[in-house]
Amino acid sequence: MRIFYSTVEVYPPRRVDIVELFMKQLANRGIETTWVMRRKHPGPCKKERYENQFISLPFYIKGGKIAQIFNKLTYWTCDLLALAGCGHSRFDIIQVRDKYIAAIFGLVIAQLFGMQFVFWLSYPFPEHDREAAKLEIFPRNLIYLVRSALGYVVLYQFIMRFSDHCFVQSEQMKRDIMAHGISAEKMTAVPMGVANEMLNKYDPDVTIEPGTVVYLGTLVRVRRLETLVHAMGQVIKLVPNARLLFVGDGDVPEDRTFLESEVKRLGLENVVEFTGFLPMQEAWKIVETAAVCVSPFYPTPILRSTSPTKIIEYMALGKPVVANDHPEQSQIIAESGAGLCVEWSEQAFAKAIIQLLTNPEQAAEMGQRGPEWVRQHRTYDQIADQVYARYQAILLRKPK
């Protein structure tokens, strides 16, 4: 089976659902994937061999705004030329992830040359733009609103409607998109998981840093992570040695700056620490020594439809989790018993964190339940079996 995959991923790829799912697990099942990815470092337009797969990379130069415009144009050109060449290379499936222009072009190429077209949606971008508009002032909010409106039409009324199949992030996202008239049979939910090797990192005898609470992930504003900062203001009243580590950074500098200003305003500089982006191995070492890990997802439509990676990683490393009500997180906590699930409020987060910090035996017992649940439900060898079976079903359809 041969797949052409155009993705927004930056080369070299780091996302686990790219590297572990496609480049390892699906490759081991006989799927040959050719890629288009972005650059973030200077380099020529060329094909790179990586993990025994070919990746088309655009020309990229450093510089100011003119260079940025040039880099976008070369990326789009490389993308569209590679898609145009699919007809001669005779791929079985053209797949595009999270890109509208490439998806429209890919749909046309697939129709012309009798290939199947698959769209992979990892995030509800039109809904994100609508929520982001609420945090901006004129005229920036208007830009977001226009982009959101266009996204709804292009994505839900054209791309997903005319694709042969669509992969989405979660069952909740699948239900949300069904409201736009896309049939359930046309979509497959692929939740986030972890590599099998990550379970080998679990050490029940690791030394725990008492009072340490860890958040691993992005600091983007729409996640409303100031709620955690406010919660820690309550936690330290009963657990004076408690501290919160934000392991990650924002998409833009303002994301982290906003949280840091809240920390300063509340006088919690000695309680809350920001590590910035760290290599995953370093980040996981911090998680391993945490007393409690937190997985907050602000209850908006865009975050309700996500499939959180962090909660699975926490559980694979044997950490007790405090998560808020969320379609997937609530189900995971209920099935595994690996933590506490609370409503979205600083008071609820604070109460749950205090409960686990002051009852280390209960926290340890919850943490120990995580690795086995992950082993049974969320390793990428299991996820790959499901995705591979879906691709086979797509190809069994009659030729166009």
In this structure, the answer to whether residues 323 and 384 fall within a common structural domain is no
- The closest of 291, 347, 341 to 314, measured between CA atoms, is 291
**289 in any annotated domain:** yes
Both 350 and 237 in a single domain? Answer: yes
Tokens of 376: 């049974």
Comparing C-alpha atoms, which of 188, 99, 209 is closest to residue 385? Answer: 188
- How do residues 67-110 score in pLDDT, each as one tens digit? 999 999 999 999 999 999 998 888 999 999 999 999 999 999 99
pLDDT of residue 381: 93
Whether residues 49 and 186 share a domain: the answer is: yes
- One domain for residues 43 and 188: yes
Residues 299, 224 contacting (CB under 8 angstroms): no
Same domain, 69 and 173: yes
Percent residues over pLDDT 70 in the chain: 99
Q: Are residues 177 and 231 in the same domain?
A: no
Q: Check pLDDT > 70 for residue 399.
A: no
DSSP state of 196: G
Residues 260 and 114 in one domain: no
Q: Quick one: which of 311, 356, 301 has its CA closest to 333?
A: 311
Q: Which helix (H) or strand (E) holds 187?
A: strand 187-189
Question: Are residue 71 and residue 173 in the same domain, yes or no?
Answer: yes
For residue 152, being part of any structural domain is answered with no
Total-model pTM: 0.88
Helices (H), 64-194: 65-84, 86-89, 100-113, 125-133, 140-151, 160-162, 171-178
Lowest mean pLDDT among 104-118, 123-137, 305-319: 123-137
Would you say residue 147 lies in a domain?
no
Kindly state the helix (H) or strand (E) to which residue 36 belongs, with its residue range: strand 32-38
Contact 325, 337 (CB under 8 A): no
**pLDDT value at position 398?**
58
CATH number for 109: 3.40.50.2000
Residue 394 is predicted with a pLDDT of: 95
Total count of domains within the chain? 2
**By mean pLDDT, which of 46-50, 160-164, 196-200 is the weakest?**
196-200
Same domain for 249 and 369? Answer: yes
- Which tokens belong to 238? 């009963």
Percent of the chain topping pLDDT 90: 86
Burial of residue 141 (number of CB atoms within 10 Å: 0-12, 13-18, 19+) = middle
d(CA 37, CA 56): 6
Sheet holding 32-38, edge to edge: 46-50, 53-57, 32-38, 2-10, 93-97, 116-121, 165-168, 187-189
Report the distance separating Cα 50 and Cα 132, nearest Å.
36
Over residues 315-330, the mean pLDDT reads 96
Alpha carbons 370 and 314: distance in angstroms, whole number: 8
| Sign of the four-CA dihedral 266, 272, 273, 279 | negative
CA dist 45 → 11, 24, 66, 73, 86 (Å)? 13, 25, 18, 12, 18
The predicted-structure confidence for 147-178, as pLDDT tens digits, reads as follows 999 999 999 999 999 999 999 999 999 999 99
Amino acid at 308: P
pLDDT range class, residue 304, cuts 50, 70, 90? confident
pLDDT of 400 > 60? The answer is no
- Over the stretch 234-244, which tens digit does the pLDDT of each residue have? 999 999 999 99
The answer on 221 and 116 residing in a single domain is no
What residues make up the domain containing 77? Answer: 2-122+163-193+380-395
Contact criterion met (CB below 8 Å) for 152 and 126? yes
Q: Worst-scoring range by mean pLDDT, 8-22, 123-137, 143-157, 371-385?
A: 123-137
Mean pLDDT of the chain, nearest integer: 94
Amino acid at 28: N
Confidence at 135, pLDDT banded by 50, 70, 90: confident
What pLDDT sits at residue 93? 97
